């Protein structure tokens, strides 16, 4: 599909094969091929919803709205209308290089009543459990998903399908029901402790404590009615109609923070994507408040002087280099990034080629640089921000005309705050934990937090969500992204380098083992069976600390639902990530 012009000698290839035996996630498999449109998401029924809209004449944006709404029903782990996210849109031009790229920011915002220390108890410590930034009625930011979908479709949809038509698959799946998958049934058990204290969550997801079983027919009547209201009355119904009234009333009754005014005043924002170059490819990414774009462009810039392909895709040399650039990029990320509406993000300085080169001045191919020795490259600019969730979901879409959507959205934690708004079937986010709940305290994902990401009414929390496009000679060749909190950045980075540096087909690039380093803690995490024993020994000899990922979700990292487009044939190749049991690429 994509080619690289670097040549490696046969003896070197043989030596690398002996020293760095790859441990792939799955046997080599082919991507799903299609001539016209392709939808790749974490659930087959959601992918089908998107294809249904494409076949009715809708474009990639229309299909993205249908897919996102359907995931609300079939993948409540992260699919949502009670959360928010980022959508990247590519509108194809008549010839390569003449298209447009648009970024839609529909991240949640802090309610008007939010305060900087709202989650700090009288003892000066962060509150835990109900009333915290992670669980219960006070954990939610103002949801943005419906507003983001509406903005995208209004401005960039095809005009050939209606809002009611794109809502219909989700309404149907909720009101008429669908079959519970094995993965979904297992997920309910895993998160029962979070969901059980809230009556509607207990009823809908836990079947009053008896639990849904794989193969059962699951109807979500309240959510179906909510979708029907959205279908009939339009997207503002969520923010100003009966649904908004139900959300505000429930919040008021249970000590929550979101009001009718908060809902009415919410606005999705259109932004200008960030662009960068890597080995002749153009990388187009979501700008701040996504932190991933700057970090990925920095990391690509740091590794470009190195012959990465010659190192071998699973070698200690490559993993050492990647861990060191990750460490430096995450150090800058921790210091300088936040909501650009509230802080001045030094984008041009962080992406200046001379600055990026300087970040590698102390790099050694033989020895790890301790995280404590890595300082922010522009000096002390902000205090260290960040909080992050890993339970997010990503989907990619390309239509027959070459338009594309890369969308990542989230409830923050799995099943969000655990709260379902009574009478609506809407599961709410716990996005307030993505702010700095207490300066200088690590959040539940181990990320240090500080003033740049402090809670302010109306502010959007910083995120690693990084929906991404890759172009070659002006032609779109890759649509990708991932969930995974801070690991999103490194997952997307590695998929890109797998394609460009190692000439991997998209399914191979998605399946390949992944590592993660986020500066603090100073550890390389790797996937189950993701490193050969000798590679692990070699990394330790360089001073790297390594740790296998936890068994949660099988010990794997991310979920890179991706599409490649062959620039010669125009064929679309959909690669559903096998790390998720229900993921599916569907084309036509």
Per-chain mean pLDDT for the chain: 90
Could you count the other beta carbons within 10 Å of the beta carbon of residue 446?
14
Average pLDDT on 360-386 reads 81
- Provide, rounded to the nearest whole percent, the portion of the chain with pLDDT above 90: 78
Say what the pLDDT of residue 10 is: 33
Say what the pLDDT of residue 161 is: 98
Say what the pLDDT of residue 250 is: 98
Q: Which residue has the higher pLDDT, 443 or 482?
A: 482
CA angle 147, 452, 136 (to 5 degrees): 55
Alpha-carbon gap, residue 133 to 121, rounded angstroms: 12
What CATH architecture applies to the domain 10-28+272-387+465-564?
Answer: Orthogonal Bundle (1.10)
Average pLDDT on 107-111 reads 94
Say what the pLDDT of residue 376 is: 86
Is 314's pLDDT higher than 90? yes
Say what the pLDDT of residue 382 is: 44
Average pLDDT on 39-65 reads 98
Strands 281-285 and 468-472 come out as: antiparallel
Range of lowest pLDDT (88-92, 297-301, 368-372, 551-555): 551-555
Active-site amino acid positions = 392
Average pLDDT on 303-310 reads 98
Q: Are 471 and 280 in contact (CB under 8 A)?
A: no
Per-residue pLDDT band for 457 (boundaries 50, 70, 90) equals: confident
Per-residue pLDDT band for 441 (boundaries 50, 70, 90) equals: low
Range of lowest pLDDT (64-73, 103-112, 130-139, 244-253): 130-139
Strand order across the beta sheet in which 584-587 lies:
269-271, 100-106, 84-91, 404-410, 392-398, 38-41, 584-587
Say what the pLDDT of residue 581 is: 94
What sign has the CA pseudo-torsion 163, 164, 165, 170? positive
Strand order across the beta sheet in which 572-575 lies:
32-34, 572-575, 562-565, 475-480, 468-472, 281-285, 274-278
Average pLDDT on 410-414 reads 92
Strands 269-271 and 217-218 come out as: unpaired
Give the C-alpha distances (Å, rounded to integers) separating 299 from 210, 280, 323, 328, 449.
48, 16, 10, 8, 22
Say what the pLDDT of residue 337 is: 80
Q: Are 449 and 462 in contact (CB under 8 A)?
A: no
Say what the pLDDT of residue 5 is: 31
In the chain, domain spans: 10-28+272-387+465-564, 41-269+391-450
Alpha-carbon gap, residue 450 to 382, rounded angstroms: 8
Is 437's pLDDT higher than 60? no
Could you count the other beta carbons within 10 Å of the beta carbon of residue 314?
22
Q: Which residue has the higher pLDDT, 333 or 16?
A: 333
In terms of DSSP H, where are the helices of 411-503?
A: 487-500
Average pLDDT on 142-158 reads 98
Say what the pLDDT of residue 440 is: 55
Which phi and psi (to 5°) does residue 406 adopt? -120, 115
Say what the pLDDT of residue 388 is: 63
Beta carbons within 8 Å of 516's beta carbon, 6+ residues apart:
326, 486, 487, 490, 491, 524, 525, 526, 549, 557
Q: Provide the whole-model pTM.
A: 0.92
Average pLDDT on 430-455 reads 62
Q: How many residues does the chain have?
A: 588
Is 381's pLDDT higher than 70? no
Say what the pLDDT of residue 122 is: 78
Say what the pLDDT of residue 448 is: 52
Average pLDDT on 19-36 reads 66
Range of lowest pLDDT (14-23, 113-122, 362-371, 460-469): 14-23
Beta carbons within 8 Å of 296's beta carbon, 6+ residues apart:
283, 285, 329, 466, 468, 489, 492, 493, 496
Catalogue the E-assigned strands of 129-280: 178-179, 217-218, 269-271, 274-278
């Amino acid at each position: 599909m994509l080619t690289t012009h670097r040549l490696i000698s046969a003896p070197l290839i043989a030596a690398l094969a002996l020293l760095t035996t790859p441990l792939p996630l799955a046997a080599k498999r082919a991507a799903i091929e299609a001539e016209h449109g392709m939808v790749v998401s974490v659930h087959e029924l959601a992918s089908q919803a998107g294809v249904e809209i494409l076949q009715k004449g809708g474009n990639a944006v229309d299909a993205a709205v249908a897919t996102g709404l359907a995931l609300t029903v079939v993948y409540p782990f992260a699919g949502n209308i009670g959360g928010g996210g980022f959508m990247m849109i590519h509108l194809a031009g008549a010839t390569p290089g003449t298209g447009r790229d648009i970024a839609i920011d529909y991240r949640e915002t802090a309610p008007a009543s939010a305060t900087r220390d709202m989650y700090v108890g009288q003892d000066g410590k962060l509150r835990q459990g109900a009333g915290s930034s992670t669980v219960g009625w006070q954990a939610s930011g103002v949801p943005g998903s419906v507003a983001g979908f509406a903005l995208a479709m209004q401005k960039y949809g095809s005009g050939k399908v209606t809002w009611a038509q794109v809502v219909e698959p989700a309404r149907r799946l909720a009101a008429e029901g669908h079959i519970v998958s094995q993965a979904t049934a297992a997920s309910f058990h895993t998160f029962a402790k979070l969901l059980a204290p809230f009556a509607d969550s207990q009823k809908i997801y836990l079947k009053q404590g008896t639990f849904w079983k794989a193969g059962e027919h699951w109807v979500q009547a309240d959510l179906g009615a909510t979708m029907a209201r959205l279908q009939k009355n339009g997207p503002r119904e969520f923010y100003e109609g009966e649904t908004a009234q139900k959300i505000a009333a429930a919040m008021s009754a249970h000590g929550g923070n979101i009001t009718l005014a908060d809902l009415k005043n919410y606005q999705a924002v259109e932004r200008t994507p960030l662009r960068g170059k890597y080995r002749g490819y153009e990388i187009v990414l979501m700008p701040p408040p996504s932190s991933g774009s700057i970090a990925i462009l920095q990391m690509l810039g740091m590794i470009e002087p190195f012959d990465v392909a010659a190192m071998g895709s699973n070698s200690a040399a490559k993993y050492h280099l990647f861990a060191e650039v990750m460490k430096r990029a995450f150090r800058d990320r921790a210091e300088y990034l936040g909501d650009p509406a509230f802080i001045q993000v030094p984008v041009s300085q962080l992406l200046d080629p001379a600055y990026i080169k300087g970040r590698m001045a102390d790099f050694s191919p033989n020895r790890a640089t301790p995280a404590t020795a890595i300082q922010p490259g522009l000096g002390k600019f902000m205090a260290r921000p960040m909080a992050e969730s890993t339970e997010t979901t990503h989907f990619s879409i390309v239509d027959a005309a070459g338009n594309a959507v890369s969308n990542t959205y989230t409830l923050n934690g799995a099943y969000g705050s655990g709260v379902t708004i009574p009478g609506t079937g809407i599961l709410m986010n716990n996005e307030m934990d993505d702010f700095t709940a207490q300066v200088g305290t690590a959040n539940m994902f181990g990320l240090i937090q500080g003033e740049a990401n402090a809670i302010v009414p109306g502010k959007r929390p910083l995120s690693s969500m990084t929906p991404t496009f890759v172009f070659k000679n002006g032609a779109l060749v890759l649509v990708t992204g991932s969930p995974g909190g801070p690991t999103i950045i490194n997952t997307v980075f590695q998929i890109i380098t797998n394609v460009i540096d190692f000439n991997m087909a998209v399914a191979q690039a998605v399946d390949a083992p992944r590592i993660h380093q986020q500066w603090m803690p100073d550890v390389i995490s790797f996937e189950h069976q993701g490193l050969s024993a000798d590679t692990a020994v070699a990394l330790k000899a360089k001073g790297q600390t390594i740790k296998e990922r936890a068994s949660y979700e099988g010990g794997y990292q991310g979920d890179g639902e991706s599409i490649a487009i062959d620039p010669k044939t125009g064929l679309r190749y959909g690669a559903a990530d096998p790390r998720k049991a229900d993921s599916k690429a569907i084309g036509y």
